[in-house]
Amino acid sequence: MAWTLSTSLDDFRTRAGGFLAAHPAENTVLLSVADRLATDGPTAYGEEPPRFGWWRPGADGPVEGAYLQTPPYNPRLGLMPAAAAAALAGAFVEAGAFEVGASRGMASGGMVSGVMVPGAGAAAAGRALDGVSGGKAAVRAFAAAWCAATGRRSAVQVDELLHRLVELVPPSPAPAGLARAARAAERELLIGWFEDFGAEIAVDFHTSPDAVDRRIADGTLHVWEDAGRPVAFAGRSPVVAGMSRIGPVFTPPGLRGRGYAGAVTAAASAYALAQGAAEVLLYTDLANPTSNSIYRKLGYRPVEDCLAVTFHN
């Protein structure tokens, strides 16, 4: 079993692109992030270069696992067997990809399961691994291996469920108002909403202003308007490999319970279908029964249990 670690987006897409596209639901985050990096460049998510990896069960076998990271965000695991996830933790230690203790690992590259990875660790030298996310089985296997190797402990940050749209059922009756694209004049309001959403789910959206500007410019931020004012929004990723993902979805606390979130999600979903998406996906927090109920009524059904964990001493 061998992991190849790289800082080359081109290599990642060449080697792992077919695997990602063959499993667009389970690899939804990797597909959309790689697409944005290809469009906006390596600093789209932060100043540090992105990092990538792909896994083969044998030296000449097909790719059957992949991950990526766009610092300062934690690594995201795509579809992979649990054994590959555990091996990735070992590969990180061997390559010196993250700080794991006194002079442990290699800072400028190394052998990862027999594969030379020049510079794979240099990009992250001195940075601790704060967490990881992805499919639940893979994340648990990675966390167990990482904690065994480093002496750190893990804690669940969020327990999620990935959903696929089976058949869109718009809310009936619909709430007052209508869906439309977000406008540049609403920029400051929407940035605030992005940050409020991040605070609610304990995620720091480091690039909220840029994300809002980009989504307004490319028409992937949908607003529900009632009585002439925005009352909710839903984001939508561009269609990649036949897949589009809805999110984030947010209604300010004082406007909840009126059906706005369901209506704007339905509108964003319909637009994704109109753009040619064969797979329309979204994530829900299992701790939020309200949102899970809303999306089920819209026609979304479970695909995969997912998990985000944090690491601490």
Instruction: Write the pLDDT tens digit of every residue in 186-208.
Output: 999 999 999 999 888 877 776 67
For residues 258-280, average pLDDT: 97
Mean pLDDT score across all residues of the chain: 90
179 and 261 both lie in a single domain: yes
194 and 273 both lie in a single domain: yes
Contacts of 220 (CB under 8 A, 6+ apart): 235, 236, 237, 238
141 and 167 both lie in a single domain: no
Q: Is the pTM of this model over 0.85?
A: yes
Residue 158 maps to a domain? no
Euclidean distance between CA atoms 203 and 187, whole angstroms: 20
54 and 118 both lie in a single domain: yes
233 and 266 both lie in a single domain: yes
Count of the separate structural domains present in the chain = 2
89 and 214 both lie in a single domain: no
Give SS3 for 136. helix
pLDDT of residue 119: 46
Torsion from C-alpha of 40, 51, 120, 27, nearest 10 degrees: -130
Instruction: Write the pLDDT tens digit of every residue in 142-161.
Output: 999 999 999 999 999 999 99
Last residue of one domain, picked from the residues 100, 120, 151 = 151
Greater pLDDT, 136 or 46: 136
123 and 228 both lie in a single domain: no
Instruction: Write the pLDDT tens digit of every residue in 90-108.
Output: 999 999 989 875 333 322 3
Residue 260 maps to a domain? yes
Task: Provide the domain limits for residue 234.
Answer: 163-304
Residue 310 maps to a domain? no
pLDDT of residue 203: 74
61 and 195 both lie in a single domain: no
10 and 146 both lie in a single domain: yes
Phi, psi of 53 (to 5 degrees): -160, 150
Residue 312 maps to a domain? no
Out of 79-93, 222-236, 282-296, least confident range: 282-296
